[in-house]
Amino acid sequence: MKSERDFLDQSEAYLRGEMNALEKKVFEDHLVNDPEARRKFDEHEIFIGNMKSYGARTDLRHKLEAIHETINIEEVVPKKPLIIRLWDKYKINSLVAASVALLAVFTTLWLTGFYSKDNTSQYIALRRDMNSIRQNVKAQNALIKDINKGKNDAGTPSHYGATGFALSSNGYVMTTYHVIKDADSVYLQNYTGNSYKAKVIYTDPTYDIAVLEIIDKDFKEVGNLPYTFKQNAADIGEDVYTIGFPREEAVYGRGYLSSNTGYSGDTIAYQVSIPVNPGNSGGPVLDNRGNIIGVINSKQTETDGAAFAIKSNYVLEALASIPEDSLEKKLTLNKKNTLANLSRTEQIKKVQEYIYMIKVY
C-alpha cells in the first residue's frame, strides 16, 4: 500500500466488489498478514456502513417530505392519507434514528482520527518488536539459549522488548506498563549480557508504570544505586539524557526538556527533545546532576526528536502506593546521589550498570 488514501481506495473497491480475482486475493492476503491494515479495514467498513445507513434514512425522510408537500390540504378529507398518518406517527422515531446514525458517523470519524489528522498514528508507544527487526533469527536464539543456560523458556523467540532500570540494589526494576501488559514471562538482560528471569509485582496503567522483581537464583545484588529521583519539577531547557535499548546494545541519547506537558497537553508527562526509537520505552531521563526526572514511554512520529517521559513525581507517587505486604523484599529508594560531580562520560559508565533490556515472551 503506497499511502493511507490508496489503502482506503482499495478497501472501498473491495467492498463494492470492483476487484478482479487476483486483486481480491492480494488484498485479502495483505489483511491477513498485517493486523494494523485489518484493523483499519474493519473500521472503514463500519464507517461506510454507517454512512449508507444514514444516507438511506435521509433519503426516506426527503421522500416523505416531498410527498407531504404535494398534498393539497384543502382537498383532503378529514381522514389523512395513510402515508401522512404514518409520517405523523413515526416521524419522531425516524428523526431519532437519523440522529443516532449521524452521531455514529461522527463518532467513527473522531475515533479513527479524521478530525485530528490521524493523531493516534502520530503518538506511538516505544515497544520494540524484536521478531520483525531481528536480523539473524538463528543467532538470536542461540544467544538466548546460551545466556539462559538451558532454562525452559530459553529457546522461545522474544516478541518485543524495551528498557528498564534498577529501583533498588536487591532486584526491583522499573519499566513501562504497556511493555509488560499480558506478558507470559519477562527476562532482564544487563549490559554485560547476563539474563535474569523476573516477575511483575505492581502496575499502574494510569501512569503507564510497572515494577518488576528479579527472581532468578543467579542474580546477585548490585551495589548502591548512583542516581536518585528528582522530587521537584524540572525546568524547560534543562540538559537531559537517557540510556536505553532500541537495539541489542545500550544507546545513549542527549537532548533537553522542551515542555512541561506531554502529548496534547498531558500534565503527567514532559516532552523531551531526545532522539528515541522503539525499545527506549522504560528508560530513565536524567538531568546533569544524575537525578531521574522522568521515564520514557512514547514519541510523536511527525516531529523529529519529540519524545515523552512520565514525570518523576508521578513515578514516586505510584511507588508509594505499592502495598508493603505485596513485596517479598523491602523496596528502599536510594537517597544519595553520587553522580552530581562527575563528567557525563563517567556518569554514563556508572548508570549503564543499572539499565536492563526488557525481553517479553
What are 275-304's pLDDT values in tens digits?
888 889 999 999 999 999 999 998 877 666
The CATH code that applies to domain 124-361 is 2.40.10.120
Q: How confident is the model at residue 306 (pLDDT cuts 50, 70, 90)?
A: confident
Q: What percent of the chain has pLDDT over 90?
A: 44
**What are the φ/ψ torsions at residue 227 (nearest 5 degrees)?**
-115, 165
Q: How much is the pLDDT for 116? A: 45
Residue 78, pLDDT > 70, answer no
Report the DSSP beta bridge partners of residue 167: none
Q: Provide mean pLDDT across the span 189-204.
A: 94
Least confident of 96-100, 116-120, 281-285, 335-339: 116-120
Q: Which three cell numbers stand for residue 292?
A: 531521574
Could you give the angle at which helices 21-33 and 4-15 cross, rounded to 10 degrees?
A: 120
| 44-48, 190-194, 198-202, range with the lowest pLDDT | 44-48
Q: Kindly report the pTM of this predicted structure.
A: 0.60
Give percent above pLDDT 70 in the chain.
73
Residue 357 contacts residue 161 (beta carbons within 8 Å): yes
Give me the pLDDT at residue 315, please: 96
- CB count, 10 Å around CB of 83? 13
**pLDDT of res. 4:** 76
pLDDT value of position 201: 94
pLDDT band at 157 (very low <50, low <70, confident <90, very high): low
167: pLDDT strictly greater than 90? yes
Band the pLDDT of 230: cuts 50, 70, 90: very high
List the single range of 9-23, 254-268, 277-291 with lowest mean pLDDT: 9-23
pLDDT in tens, 102-123: 666 556 555 544 444 444 446 6
Q: Where are the domains of the chain?
A: 4-123, 124-361
Give the best-scoring range by mean pLDDT among 76-85, 121-130, 192-201. Answer: 192-201
Give me the DSSP letters along 250-306. -EEEEEEEEESS-GGG-TTEEEEE----TT-TT-EEEETTSEEEEEEEEEETTSTTE
**3-class DSSP assignment, residue 128:** strand
pLDDT given for residue 129 in this prediction: 60
pLDDT band, very low/low/confident/very high, at 12 (cuts 50, 70, 90): confident
pLDDT digits over 32-77, tens only?
A: 888 888 888 888 788 777 777 777 777 777 777 777 666 655 554 4
Give the integer Cα–Cα distance in Å for 13 and 22. 13
Lookup: cell for 33: 498478514
- Would the pLDDT of 226 be above 60? yes
Q: What is the mean pLDDT of the chain?
A: 81
